Amino acid sequence: MRVSLSWLREHVDTPAELDADGLEKALVKVGLEVEELVDAGATVTGPLLVGRVESIEELQGLKKPIRYCLVDVGGEQPQGIICGARNFAEGDLVVVALPGAVLPGGFAIAARKTYGHISNGMICSGRELGVSDDHEGIIVLPPDTAKPGDEARPIVGLDDVVVDINVTPDRGYCFSVRGIARELSHSLGGAYRDPVAAVVPLEGDGTEAYPIEVLDSIACDRFTAVAVRGVDPAAATPQWIKNRLATAGIRAISLPVDITNYVMIEMGQPMHAWDLGQLTGPLVVRRARAGEKLTTLDGVTRGLDPEDIVIADATGVVSLAAVMGGTTTEVSPATVDVLFEAAHWEPRSVARTIRRHKLPSEAGKRYERGVDPQITAAACARAAALLAEHGGGTVSAGVTDVYAVVPPEPITMSVTRPSELAGVDYPAGRVLEILAMIGTQVVAAGDTLTVTPPSWRHDLNDPADLAEEVLRLDGYDRIPSVLPIAPPGRGLTATQRRRRTVGRALADAGYVETLCYPFVGAAALDALRLPEDDPRRAAVLLRNPLSDEEPQLRTTLLPPLLAALRRNLGRGLRDLALFEIGLVFLPGGPLRVAPAAGNDGPPSTEELAAVDELLPHQPWHVATVIAGDAEPAGWWGGGRPADWADAVESARAVAAAAGVELTVRAAAQAPWHPGRCAALLVGDTVVGHAGELHPAVCADLDLPRRTVAMELDLDAVPIPPVSIAPRLSSFPAALIDVALVVDAATPAAEVETALAEGAGELLESVRLFDVYSGQQLGEGRKSLAYKLTLRAADRTLTGEEALAARDAAVAVAADRLGAVLRGA
């Protein structure tokens, strides 16, 4: 929002010495973000005067029209100046930069010979002076504006300060001189004069200016219209309006349209000017119908959506409400009867229409932030008076005003709330003073205040908003910057420590951690070949997903992790081992809407518990994926490709870090290969699966064959109690190898468990180091070779004790699993 200081001074008393720096500080003090501050007087240096064109000589024989003009600039002799513009005549007042002047961009003016004449200066356009974008002709001043030789800077607005404010979405009322002047009065303490209050209201004679029918009072709760008839189509926009519009970055078009833009900048109320002669039948405010189209003022024919708010007459849609009008009813050079419209539209509908049609506009920018519904009549009266004054029209006696505005809800707040929020003592009188300053109506009952926000402050909805206003206008600089003392804590929880330990263990094993987005789509679950009744397909749907292709929250870590694996493989990597520790989201039934909670203080324990009950179950999972070689090839020999055993080993690393014993047994679970999948158990509970991915899954996901993966529910793994460190023995260990022949279907883990139970307390560790199968053992048999480490805490074991422990271990394995000592 760009506005000049001189315009603001018409509505707020400011110190005479207020300069650009002081203006910036005053605006920042009340929380407005100043993007740019331009002292217009400093952009043009040197002589810039008003001149009268005495004579014009058309130079002949040139490729383009060139004029040699004699211009009276108040000196003894008129100055000869070469000019190519055609929009002025003898006797016109113009703006002249004489030799020695420097225009914006460092363009220096000097006397020089051109086209056979000496040009002693330049007749300036608005763009050359930096006061507008108009470069179609030079600036022609109205007659009697000044006399030749007068300083031109005050006339064209170069003696002013222009401020550009970045208006945040919650401060839509500052998209106007009215709003910024009010904030400046709060900052400087000067008297404020509301431009709305200065408008003479239209009394009307009880008739309508034009018939209006509003079919959707939620989308449009107020619609005001006033007609001005008999306007002179040739009437020009006054220069002072053009200058102010140019300062705001708006191009002058025609007198009626320029007046609507001027009132919008002044009051913050967007308006539209209709050509009354082009309207047929009453105007109807409604939603668009399927198949309807509208050619907007930018010349684009747009297909309308049933959610769009439109204005239609008997011929069809004539305006995309609150955004842009249509070409069939726009004001043209032949328009003599004008209908001014000022309405109040529902902000969310306007915002959606703007984004749907990719059609931002100055009006839409204000409507989507919220405008004052109580000033539509004043805006129409102001526009009608300006058009009657400068366009020669007559304001009709009838006024149309459709009113269905719902008054703002009162807010109850404790008078001590601002003090509690900021830690600064705000007396009750000061709180009431600031609340009255921003336009609220306050009813006090003891320490309780009932506050009704003003119609232009749509951002005031609860006590915290009102408290913030007290803090803002009393001065943020009064709030001390005090670093709060952190309360003593108990460190990490047991689950947090376990997650960190597991992450370190996997990193130590060579895995690289990834952080993936928790979003998935049905296509990713289909690629994993999950059955239709698989509980992992019951996912939580997002109401507003980042991508329509991934509208669900993940129930397994594998889809995003496998996508990360594929992405890295596509970038040229070949041997990859990735892991992620993250949340999955498991719905426990239909999701309900959380209860509304205010922000006048922290939520209660009961409120937090009620919200927690609505959330899906979110356990922590850990997953690993491996592609390529688990052991690289090199001069030391050939490498080893990763297989299902590496996935199982990653699960063992997780279990070891978590301090639990993991049992592995054969299983069949999507998306793993049915013959190379293992179930992971802690006790009798299945906590995850590991193995080689199904070949079809690898093909669907464009992954290498024999890619392996593991996923484990970390929250399902119990946290072991604090254990006492074992006493370390200083006596030597006895190492004994045992090879047992068992049925080929017997899991090695069960054999290992039987050996551990049989060896008893002397067993320190047992490790499988060889698996053999062949004709020597017979069909359906295999040999498992284990290394037993035996050690006593108080003595060196004798050979007999070590053999006895081995024999006891073999006996348990033989009794439980039918194992036979190989070679026996």
Instruction: Tell me the pLDDT tens digit for each residue of 689-740.
Output: 999 999 999 999 999 999 999 999 999 999 988 777 778 888 999 999 999 9
Q: Is the pLDDT of residue 26 over 80?
A: yes
In this predicted structure, what is the pLDDT of residue 599?
64
Sign of the alpha-carbon dihedral angle for 774, 777, 778, 784: negative
Q: How far is CA 317 from CA 220, 249, 288, 307, 309, in A?
A: 16, 29, 8, 14, 10
Give me the mean pLDDT over the 204-216 stretch: 93
Q: What is the 3-state secondary structure (H, E, C) of 734-777?
A: EEEEEEEEEECCCCHHHHHHHHHHHHHHHEEEEEEEEEECCCCC
- Indicate the pairing of strand 576-583 with strand 512-513: parallel
Around 498, how many Cα atoms within 13 Å sit in the side-chain half-sphere?
22
407-464 pLDDT, tens digit each: 999 999 999 999 998 989 999 999 999 999 999 999 999 999 999 999 999 999 999 9
In this predicted structure, what is the pLDDT of residue 636?
85
In this predicted structure, what is the pLDDT of residue 601?
67
Give me the mean pLDDT over the 296-314 stretch: 95
Question: Is residue 756 a contact partner of residue 763, using CB atoms and an 8 Å limit?
Answer: yes
Give me the mean pLDDT over the 335-352 stretch: 96
Residues facing residue 786 across a β-bridge? 738, 768
In this predicted structure, what is the pLDDT of residue 463?
92
In this predicted structure, what is the pLDDT of residue 486?
80
For the chain, give percent helix, strand, coil, nearest 5: 30, 30, 40
- The pTM (predicted TM-score) of the whole model is 0.68
- d(CA 118, CA 640) in angstroms, rounded, equals 90
Q: Is the pLDDT of residue 185 over 70?
A: yes
Residue 704, token pair as written in the block: 């290498």
In this predicted structure, what is the pLDDT of residue 490?
81
> Closest Cα partner for 56 from 16, 88, 18?
88
Q: Is the pLDDT of residue 374 over 70?
A: yes
Phi, psi of 459 (to 5 degrees): -90, -5
Residue 328, token pair as written in the block: 């069939």
DSSP assignment of 603-664 equals: PPHHHHHHHHHHSPB--EEEEEEEESEEE--BTTB--EE--HHHHHHHHHHHHHHHT---EE
In this predicted structure, what is the pLDDT of residue 621?
97
Alpha helices per DSSP H over 71-112: none
In this predicted structure, what is the pLDDT of residue 3?
94
pLDDT band with cut points at 50, 70 and 90 for residue 600? low
Q: Is the pLDDT of residue 609 over 80?
A: yes
pLDDT band with cut points at 50, 70 and 90 for residue 591? low
- d(CA 246, CA 261) in angstroms, rounded, equals 11
In this predicted structure, what is the pLDDT of residue 157?
80
- d(CA 44, CA 157) in angstroms, rounded, equals 11
Question: Is residue 66 a contact partner of residue 81, using CB atoms and an 8 Å limit?
Answer: no
Question: Is residue 221 a contact partner of residue 402, using CB atoms and an 8 Å limit?
Answer: no
In this predicted structure, what is the pLDDT of residue 230?
96
Q: Is the pLDDT of residue 817 over 70?
A: yes
Mean pLDDT of the chain: 92
- Start-to-end C-alpha separation, the chain: 95
Q: Which residue has the higher pLDDT, 770 or 612?
A: 770
> Closest Cα partner for 573 from 510, 627, 617, 625?
627
